[in-house]
Amino acid sequence: MKRIAVLASGFGSNLAAIIQAVKRKKIKGAKVALVISDRQDAYVLKRAEKHNIPAVCIAASLDQSRTDYDKSVVKELKHHKIDMVVLAGFMRMISPYFVRAFRNKIINIHPALLPAFKGTDGIGAALCDGAKITGVTVHFVDEQMDHGPIILQSPVEVRDNDTRETLAKKIHVLEHQLLPQTIDLFVKGKLKISGRRVLIKN
């Protein structure tokens, strides 16, 4: 049984989708064994507690370096014997130290079709730039922001009457499908990284 940690800063709808996929056996051979947030008030922590999943807040202090913060996170992950890390709206850039500690075992969900609209507001940026198509990307995490090898992507059409809210809604629906699907592929050992590409075995 693989042990997944979910790192998130906010609402945790993606955590809910993962928990549900485990329950419905859409993800087999794995469970969410830990949730970490950098924000004490993040609803994702309450959500984890409701499901009896260990939930830990690791808040960053102002004078702390990224590496020092990540040392606390990695310590917690090792303590819980975590095999895979899922960044689901974790609003911190992770350090090379963290990437090395879990090389090719960290995935991130981004609300745009990478490499377009990187950064903290992928949905707003796509709207602002008048994109007609945007979407969702799940990728492995490397040392650069929103950059690691892409695993799965799915497009969303931006309609003339779309607002930030309506676009976000459509994107979230897709995220809740794509993230559990990616986790299942990872757990089954079906993802092979070949340079910048991820090959998906049958």
Angstrom distances, CA of residue 117 to CA of 73, 108, 114, 130: 27, 15, 7, 12
With contacts defined by CB under 6 A, name the span among 24-32, 103-111, 147-155, 156-164 that binds ligand GRF. 103-111
Q: List, in sequence order, every residue forming a beta bridge with 107; answer none if it has no partner.
A: 86, 140
Binding residues for ligand GRF restricted to 51-80, rule: CB under 6 A: none
Query: Minimum distance from CB of 201 to ligand GRF (Å)?
Result: 26
Q: Binding segment for ligand GRF among 33-41, 55-63, 70-78, 104-112 (CB under 6 A)?
A: 104-112
Stretch that binds ligand GRF, among 11-19, 71-79, 127-135, 181-189 (CB under 6 A): 11-19
- In this structure, which long-range contacts are made by residues 126-135, counting pairs with CB atoms below 8 Å and at least 24 apart in sequence? 126/158, 126/167, 127/158, 127/162, 127/164, 127/167, 131/158, 132/157, 132/158, 133/157, 133/158, 134/158, 134/167, 134/171, 135/171, 135/174
**Does 97 contact ligand GRF by CB under 6 A?**
no
- Angle at CA of residue 138, ends 190 and 57, nearest 5°: 105
By C-beta, is 71 or 125 nearer to ligand GRF? 125
User: Pick the catalytic residue: 110, 139, 147, 172?
Assistant: 110
Give whichever of 142 and 175 is closer to ligand GRF, judged by the CB atom: 175
Please tell me the distance from the alpha carbon of residue 196 to that of residue 44, in angstroms, as a whole number: 32
Q: How far apart are CA 176 and CA 19, in angstroms?
A: 11
The one among 8, 27, 126, 131 contacting ligand GRF by CB under 6 A: 8
Q: Is 139 a catalytic residue?
A: no
Q: Binding to ligand GRF by residue 89, rule CB under 6 A?
A: yes
State the Cα angle at 136 between 80 and 131, rounded to 5°. Answer: 150
Q: How far is the CB of 13 from ligand GRF (least distance, A)?
A: 3
Binding residue for ligand GRF (CB under 6 A) from 11, 72, 124, 147?
A: 11
* Interacting residues with ligand GRF (CB under 6 A): 8, 10-14, 88-89, 109-111, 175
